[in-house]
Structure 1
Amino acid sequence: MYASGIPVGMVVDNKGPRPGVFVGSILLGVGYFFQYRAFVAGPGSLGMPLLCIFSLLTGVGGCSAFLGAVKTAALNWPNHRGTATAFPLAAFGLSAFFFSLLSSLAFPDDTSELLLLLSILTFAMPVGGGIFLQVVPQTYGYRPVPESGMRADSDTSTTLKHFKSNESNQEAGTQADNLKDNSSEHSSLLSKSSTGSGPGDHPSHQGEEDRRRAEDEGSHRTDVRGLAMLKHARFYVLWSILGLLTGIGLMTINNIGNDVRAIWHHYDDSTTPKLIQERQLMHVEILSIMSFVGRLASGVGSDLIVHCFALSRYWVIVLSSFIFLLAQVCGATIENPHALGLVSGLTGLAYGFLFGSYPALVAESFGVHGMSQNWGFMTLAPVVAGNIFNLLYGQIYDRHSFKTENGEMDCKEGLQCYQAAYYVTLAAAVVGLVLSLGGVRWDWVSRRARGREKAVGTEA
């Protein structure tokens, strides 16, 4: 899913979001259906290479449908890009909880029916949504015409639309010059539009609107794609932060079951496998729900930070880093299994905060037109860091484990089974926090430099 982001992103950027969603739905349906058939037929019915191929299809399909949805949201709501992209991101994070809950209610303990459900719904839901998927053409900024209340394209100084047919080009040009002294307005699918500046308009509010309009137009003029990002130092900062923090999160997400088993075995050696399985499922649900909450909150919050307080979107990443740091402290110290929810809850929340705002941050840095393939480059970071931290956890856990009678590895040392892994991720979280604070500083310096350049240009 992560590794296919670059080629799939290029297709979405070049062919549009809707084809990406439809192709993704087909791959998801085919991949899960043949896994269902293999599960029903039993061992030997489908070779390991084919099983790997069908698993691959589900990953590529999920990536394709997801990028199509996120790209549409980013294009259609330019002023509220963080909020808009947070909704598909949040739904993506909640999907594990949704499908597991649905299957447990409809057919508990039946894996074959779950796979059949996945093959049907992961095909039908993107197809149903893709039918209504549309990128709405945007007009990035306009200025009011005091005499008639008409709008003029701010990027064209000599053309005024919707004027009466008997007006001459010379009169239009004169009115265009007069518009320079009027207040600017900004319009989007989520912001109110008006035809002129009223007596109640506050100067600071109008200045904020000008700043937002300039940022929005800048994100659409900027178009740095693919390998061209390698020339920009900002790419390496964003890639490193995403890699470190997602690696930390994925270590807990992928191994929370091992945490639960080790802690419960040490806390109460009479714990039944059924109870452990129930607790593992509970923590998966906590991770999914908190990730959903974090994605929505960070998307909306990052827009408020940018548009209401004129601060950097990097502050959301700082908050995510800090929550990750707290989660690692909990992971390295909690020995009571009843308190283990702090580890899964904080990890899910931090992971959600990270992913809920990151696509908007990438779009602001490199432009929205190549956003899908650029996001594909970014998602290579979790592939690298996630595997590093997962392998580290596995090696540490295995060193404290013993082989049971049935040949499986088990550890009953409680916190000692994996504590060292959380010490490493704690240090990584500190590095991530420092880098994200550096991003805030960098963004602040860049804004000041752009402000000085704009002031010099205005004076000239």
Structure 2
Amino acid sequence: MAPQNAAVPGLLSLPRITTLLASLLVAVGAGTNYVFSAYAPQLAARLNINHTQLNVVGLAANVGVYASGPVWGRIVDARGPRIPLAFSFIFLLLGYTGIRHFYDAGVPEGTSLSSLGLALLIACSFMTGVGGNAGSSGAVNSTAKSFPDKARATTTGIVLSGFGLSAFFFSTIAHSLYPGDTSSLLFLLACGTALASSIGFFFVRAIPLAATEIEHTEVPESEATLFSHLNDSHTPLLNQPAEEYPPSSPRSRSRSLSRGRKAQAFEGPNVYGRALWLNPDFWLLFAIFALLSGTGLMYINNVGSIAQALFAKGSPTYDEVQASRWQAAQVSVISIMNFSGRIVIGVLSDNLKNRFGLPRSYSTIFVSTLFFFSQLLATQISDVQDLWKASMLVGFSYGTIFGLWPTVCIEFFGLSHFSENWGYLSLSPLVGGNLFSIAFGRNLDAHAPVERSTGRAHQCLEGRSCYVATLGLTSTACFAAILLSAFVTWRERRKLLAGRL
């Protein structure tokens, strides 16, 4: 009889590496929401919409990403990555093609985009978010299921780093081939993202793990009701015949329960559905994620406007081309550091667990602290030439949260329903992202001069004063996240100590 794992590919086998690289490519195409600041101010000027309306357009993409998470997660868990990747191709192509159409059409001089036009533009932006998350869900799920726990944070971090590198990748190509041409950038986004999804459709799939590579996580009996039903498989876990004891005998029932508990311990926790919503750890992670990701989304979506505000105050003659260069530079810095943060936190959290036996959730304090200092730094910058420092720290911090949270989600709630659980947890950025981004838009509009003929707000010329109040709000939010992260760590420490007694 052949060994059970004879046909299972090795850890560094071609099928696993192919899935990893194809997933990385899909992630690069899926993370284009972060390119928004590269064309947002130009889109607003072309369509004559104010900063608050522009933030609504940007938020629509984020709503598409996070609101669709549970749907794509359930589909990926049940049917695999191909269905989401097919829809990713469709939505990304239609979404960016639609945005490009609005930009090319523009509006007549002295008028602004109609309410219907604004609604359709928001719908296009929403489609780019839904399509990006469809591709990302398939890529991350397949990678997480293709590599064992000891390498999971690192490999998923690599895939998620592609999500962060997306803005740099597309903006750099566009700047090299079509400098200053926003229409061509949008065309590149439409074709490039669709191509990445189509390649992923053929090459991204979950490669099964050998039994010896599946993590062993002890589950206390008191928590059994929070997890999935016991394994009802009729395959014996031990090399003993099933007929050894009559099915109805007490000893048989005892052995079945024991088998179920051993299977459960072997497979790790499996919290999902109603049990997930009743789990206090879920709400703690949800709250921290909302505060930190909302802070990051606010800055990333508006760094182009921040750069323009700082440049306008320091330049007596406002040069649109030069301003766009500073704007593009911030997008590139954020993207590279976003990429780096996802890689670094994956390696760091894997080392904490593998070398020191510490849960990956301990790293949440580190991530929250990074965010807090990024906002303090941003409040102190008054010259556009120094803005890269804040962009670098925000980008790195944002990368660490999205590199860490998926593996913490697996650690707390298990792998079997990972994509669905991650989808629910990913609803949290909608809360912080909407709150902080709308606050930023209103703050900027309040300081921007208004043209009497159209009633539209124009470029704010007051520099840091245009937005600093919003940074005070996000700094407070990040400090609250530090306190909540400390509480999570304390809870995990108590569980560790209780398990050793």
- Report TM bin, short chain: 0.7 to 0.9
Match for residue 125 of structure 2?
55
**Matches of 2:303 and 2:498, distance apart in 1:** 45
CA distance in 1 between partners of 2:67 and 2:170 (Å): 24
Pairing partner for 2:301 from 254, 263, 282: 254
Letter in 1 for 2:427: L
What's the % identity of the aligned pairs?
A: 33
Task: Kindly report which structure 2 residues correspond to 1:266-277, keeping only aligned pairs within 5 A, or say none.
Answer: 266-277=313-324
- Find 2:159's aligned residue among 72, 88, 92: 88
1:97, 1:448 → 2: CA distance?
44
Give the whole-Å Cα distance in 2 for the aligned partners of 1:37 and 1:216: 55
Aligned mates of 1:84, 1:35 — CA distance in 2: 33
Q: Distance in 2 between matches of 1:253 and 1:424?
A: 16
1:354-396 deviations in Å (ceiling 9; x for gaps): 1111100001111111111111111111111111111222233
Shift of 1:19: 2.5
Moved more, 299-308 or 130-139: 130-139
Q: 8 Å contact 2:67–2:427 — kept in the other structure?
A: yes
| 8 Å CA contact retained: 1:327, 1:346 | yes
1:265 match: secondary structure = helix
Amino acid at match of 1:381: S
Say if 1:25 and 1:124, in contact at 8 Å, map to a contact too.
yes
Q: Does 1:223 align with 2:270?
A: yes
Assess, with a 3 A threshold, how the Cα gap between structure 1 residues 41 and 248 changes in structure 2: closer, same or farther: closer
Q: Does 1:416 align with 2:465?
A: yes
Q: Which residue in 2 is equivalent to 1:18?
A: 82
Separation (CA, whole Å) in 2 of partners of 1:219 and 1:17: 25
Q: Matches of 1:112 and 1:263 in 2, distance apart?
A: 25
Secondary structure at the counterpart of residue 410 of structure 1: coil
Q: 1:434 to 1:293 in 2, by over 3 A?
A: same
Which whole-Å CA distance do the structure 1 matches of 2:204 and 2:459 have between them? 49
Give the 3 Å change call, closer, same or farther, for CA 282–362 of structure 1 in structure 2. Answer: same
Distance of 1:329 and 1:287 partners within structure 2: 17
Structure 1 residue 52: deviation in Å?
4.0
Consecutive unaligned residues of structure 2, counting only runs of 5 or more, are 1-64, 108-112, 215-235, 245-260
Distance 1:340 1:116, change over 3 A: closer
**Secondary structure of 1:141's aligned partner:** helix
CA contact (8 A) 1:299 1:356 kept: yes
- Are residue 112 (structure 1) and residue 183 (structure 2) matched? yes
Counterpart of 2:197?
Answer: 126
Structure 1: 5+ residue stretches without partners: 144-154, 161-168, 170-213, 453-460
Structure 2 CA distance for partners of 1:70 and 1:325, relative to 1, 3 Å: same
CA distance in structure 1 between the partners assigned to 2:100 and 2:451 by the alignment: 31
1:65 counterpart residue number: 135
Deviations 1:406-438 (A, max 9, x none): 743333222222222222211111111111122
User: In structure 2, do the counterparts of structure 1 residues 382 and 216 end up closer, same or farther at CA, with 3 Å as the change threshold?
Assistant: farther
Say if 2:436 is the partner of 1:355.
no
Following superposition, the deviation at residue 49 of structure 1 comes to: 4.9
Partner of 2:172: 101
Distance 1:9 1:215, change over 3 A: farther
CA contact (8 A) 1:4 1:60 kept: yes
Q: Distance in 2 between matches of 1:29 and 1:90?
A: 22
Match of 1:398 in 2: 445
Instruction: Report the secondary structure of 1:136's partner residue.
Output: coil
Quote the Cα distance in structure 1 between the aligned partners of 2:106 and 2:451: 26
Q: Is this contact kept in 1: 2:85–2:134, CA < 8 A? A: yes
CA contact (8 A) 1:219 1:364 kept: no
Equivalent position amino acid for 2:178 in 1: F
Report the CA distance between 1:451 and its aligned residue.
3.4
In 2: Cα distance, 1:53 partner to 1:254 partner: 17
Contact 2:367 2:397 in 1 (8 A): yes
Which one has a bigger Cα radius of gyration? 1
Q: Distance in 2 between matches of 1:97 and 1:51?
A: 24
Secondary structure, counterpart of 1:138 in structure 2: coil
Cα gap change, 1:38/1:274 in structure 2, threshold over 3 Å: closer, same or farther?
closer
Task: Name the SS of the counterpart of 2:211 in structure 1.
Answer: coil
Quote the RMSD (CA, aligned, Å).
2.9
TM-score, structure 1 length as denominator? 0.78
> Quick one: which amino acid aligns to residue 248 of structure 1?
T
Match of 1:426 in 2: 475
Q: Which residue of 1 aligns with 2:26?
A: none
Cα distance change, pair 224–107 in 1 and its aligned pair in 2 (3 A) = same
User: Please, what TM-score do these two structures have when normalized by structure 2?
Assistant: 0.72
